[in-house]
């Protein structure tokens, strides 16, 4: 039963606020029971009865690992009170109804803790339900399909919109690579797509730091960025299910989640590339498909979109000119700009609030522009070192079996063009898009990507369009 110990993960666990232990290896599901007893020591000491657990899975993940997980708890002297096994079809949906079912299960067993078995959906619904019940939980990962296993917060749908609710990260995690390598190839490809966004996400943090908006936390940065290239260096291996390639991907995903815990913010794991996915999710795109379109698939395309934008920025002369101060929008005009970009009322008002949080008043914009132009020569070199080109990223995603072009999920280039503008408005987090906006160059650079010679104009549309 090979168990892999990562010094970086051990370091990250020291800074994590919720997660106490993570075990990654082959054929290690049998360790679930003993892990539970050591990770939940404090809570179990306050229980007057013997340790209790409830299990949450679907039919597929139960058949993969459920019986082995249950057996490990029984052997460790942990009573399994109940199993909640969702049907395999239709797939479990991360919404408040499903969260409510898990919450009802927990409330019916007041001394039990939950252990979920599955990928992102089952992890998120159990995470939020456990948080609502003020109880820690643990999770057994069955696919390397996302980077949120070790992160706090759960992505769930409410009234048709995907939102992230704050709740604690899991107390413990088990990632059995022997099980994860059997997952459908597209699931691990989605995880690769989610993780590749750390390149432009890191670049966005470099920009925010250089401009003086948000300083880089070096301890947190070092958990994710230095190992990034090595951990993502074997995309074809991820597609084949090679254990070593999957281990690198899984370790990176865990480091990302632990970094988010340590920083108390998703900044270490999320840049503007995620905004594309958030926008499409809030619009409900792909949620009604027979197999709902995954977060990682959308993030992969958002990552290429941002890499293309960085390519354009790095090949242009930002010092050549800047926007006129006299033409700078007033707060009211900026709010109206944002409203016009979002036809859906719920998104519109949230976007106005987020955009105004990073709005630079007219009396301060000259200083912001001066700062950007002053740091640009040094910043440009740092960004070159950080970013793969969009074509390189496309090749990495292709080898992993992931998406890279919006046509592959039924999104037109016209819609992608609009999404660039929408993505700049939906989060207050400062990114390269905001730097360009502050310079008065955002529209020009985005539009160039869709004109002759631009990345999206020249990129061949994939022959196979993959959507229902």
What mean pLDDT do residues 153-166 have?
A: 74
What mean pLDDT do residues 260-277 have?
A: 94
Q: Where are the domains of the chain?
A: 3-183, 188-458
Q: Dihedral through CA 189, CA 194, CA 199, CA 203, nearest 10?
A: 160
Q: Tell me which residue of 179, 178, 172, 193 sits closest to 257, measured CA to CA.
A: 172
What mean pLDDT do residues 93-98 have?
A: 87
Residue 468 has pLDDT above 70, yes or no: no
What mean pLDDT do residues 327-349 have?
A: 95
Mean pLDDT, the chain, whole residue set: 92
Give φ, ψ of 139 to 5 degrees.
-140, 145
Q: Cβ(262)–Cβ(441) under 8 Å?
A: no
How far is CA 78 from each of CA 20, 75, 85, 128, rounded to the nearest angstrom?
A: 19, 7, 19, 23
DSSP β-ladder status, 161-165 and 137-141: unpaired
Residue 82 has pLDDT above 90, yes or no: yes
Distance CA 12, CA 223 (A): 7
Whether cis (ω within 30° of 0) applies to the bond prior to 90 is: yes
Percent of the chain having pLDDT more than 70?
Answer: 96
Residue 3 has pLDDT above 80, yes or no: no
What separation, in Å, do the N-terminal and C-terminal C-alpha atoms of the chain show?
Answer: 41
At residue 322, the pLDDT reads 77
Task: Estimate to the nearest angstrom the gap between the alpha carbon of 212 and the chain centroid.
Answer: 25
At residue 50, the pLDDT reads 81
In this structure, which CATH number among 3.40.50.2300, 1.10.3720.10, 1.20.1090.10, 3.40.50.150 belongs to the domain 188-458? 1.20.1090.10
At residue 462, the pLDDT reads 86
Residue 170 has pLDDT above 90, yes or no: yes
Count, in order, helices (H) and strands (E) of the chain. 24, 9
Instruction: Please tell me whether residue 395 adopts helix, strand or coil conformation.
Output: helix
DSSP letters along 304-338, please?
Answer: HHHHHHHHHHHTS-TTS----GGGPPPHHHHHHHH
pLDDT tens per residue across span 342-360: 999 989 999 999 999 999 9
Find the helix or strand (DSSP H, E) in which 138 lies.
strand 137-141
Distance CA 25, CA 23 (A): 7
Residue 138 has pLDDT above 70, yes or no: yes
| Per-residue confidence band for 160, with pLDDT thresholds at 50, 70 and 90 | low
Q: What one-character DSSP code corresponds to residue 157?
A: E
Distance CA 247, CA 431 (A): 30
Distance CA 101, CA 90 (A): 16
Distance CA 357, CA 354 (A): 5
Q: Tell me which residue of 413, 26, 423 sits closest to 247, measured CA to CA.
A: 26
Q: Tell me which residue of 120, 403, 395, 443 sits closest to 276, measured CA to CA.
A: 403
At residue 1, the pLDDT reads 43
Task: Estimate to the nearest angstrom the gap between the alpha carbon of 443 and the chain centroid.
Answer: 27
Q: Mean pLDDT check: name the lowest of 142-146, 223-227, 303-307, 358-362.
A: 142-146
Q: What one-character DSSP code corresponds to residue 95?
A: B
At residue 90, the pLDDT reads 86
Distance CA 182, CA 292 (A): 20
pLDDT tens per residue across span 416-440: 999 999 999 999 999 999 999 999 9
188-458 shares the fold of 3-183: no
Residue 233 has pLDDT above 60, yes or no: yes
Distance CA 443, CA 103 (A): 46
pLDDT tens per residue across span 244-260: 999 999 999 999 999 99
What mean pLDDT do residues 156-171 have?
A: 79
Q: Tell me which residue of 6, 27, 18, 16 sits closest to 174, measured CA to CA.
A: 27
In this structure, the chain runs to a length of: 468
- Its CATH class, for the domain covering 3-183, is alpha beta
Distance CA 23, CA 278 (A): 30
């Amino acid at each position: 039963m090979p168990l892999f110990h990562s010094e970086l993960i051990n370091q990250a666990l020291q800074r994590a606020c919720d997660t106490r232990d993570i075990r990654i290896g082959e054929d290690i599901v049998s360790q679930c029971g003993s892990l539970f007893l050591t990770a939940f020591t404090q809570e179990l000491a306050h229980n007057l009865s013997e340790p209790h657990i409830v299990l949450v899975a679907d039919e597929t993940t139960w058949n993969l690992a459920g019986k082995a997980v249950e057996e490990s708890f029984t052997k460790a002297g942990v009573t399994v009170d109940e199993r909640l096994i969702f049907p395999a079809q239709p797939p479990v949906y991360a919404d408040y109804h499903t969260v409510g079912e898990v919450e009802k299960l927990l409330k019916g067993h007041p001394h039990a803790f939950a252990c979920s078995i599955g990928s992102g959906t089952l992890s998120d619904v159990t995470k939020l339900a456990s948080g609502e019940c003020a109880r820690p939980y643990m999770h057994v990962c069955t696919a390397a399909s996302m980077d949120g296993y070790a992160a706090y917060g759960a992505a769930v749908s409410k009234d048709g919109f995907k939102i992230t609710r704050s709740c604690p990260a899991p107390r413990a995690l088990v990632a059995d690579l022997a099980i994860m390598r059997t997952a459908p190839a597209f699931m691990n490809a989605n995880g690769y797509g989610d993780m590749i966004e750390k390149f432009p996400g890191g670049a966005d943090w470099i920009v925010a730091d250089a401009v003086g908006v948000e300083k880089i936390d070096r301890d947190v940065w070092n958990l994710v960025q230095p190992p990034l290239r090595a951990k993502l260096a074997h995309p074809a291996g991820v597609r084949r299910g090679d254990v070593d390639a999957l281990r690198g991907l899984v370790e990176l995903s865990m480091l990302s989640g632990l970094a988010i815990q340590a920083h108390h913010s998703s900044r270490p794991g999320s840049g503007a590339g995620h905004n594309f996915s958030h926008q499409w999710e809030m619009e409900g795109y792909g949620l009604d498909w027979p197999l709902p379109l995954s977060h990682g698939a959308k993030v992969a395309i958002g990552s290429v979109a941002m890499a293309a934008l960085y390519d354009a920025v790095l090949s242009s002369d930002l010092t050549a000119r800047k926007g006129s101060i006299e033409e700078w929008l007033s707060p009211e005009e900026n709010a109206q700009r944002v409203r016009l970009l979002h036809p859906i009322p719920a998104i519109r008002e949230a976007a106005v609030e987020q955009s105004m949080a990073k709005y630079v008043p007219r009396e301060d914009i000259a200083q912001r522009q001066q700062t950007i132009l002053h740091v640009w020569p040094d910043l440009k070199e740092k960004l070159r070192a950080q970013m793969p080109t969009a074509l390189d990223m496309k090749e990495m995603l292709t080898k992993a079996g992931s998406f890279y072009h919006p046509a592959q999920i039924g999104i037109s280039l016209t819609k992608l063009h609009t999404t660039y503008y929408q993505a700049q408005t939906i989060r207050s987090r400062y990114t390269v898009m905001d730097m360009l906006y502050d310079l008065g160059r955002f529209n020009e650079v985005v539009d160039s990507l869709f004109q002759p010679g631009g990345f999206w104009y020249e990129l061949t549309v994939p022959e196979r369009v993959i959507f229902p």
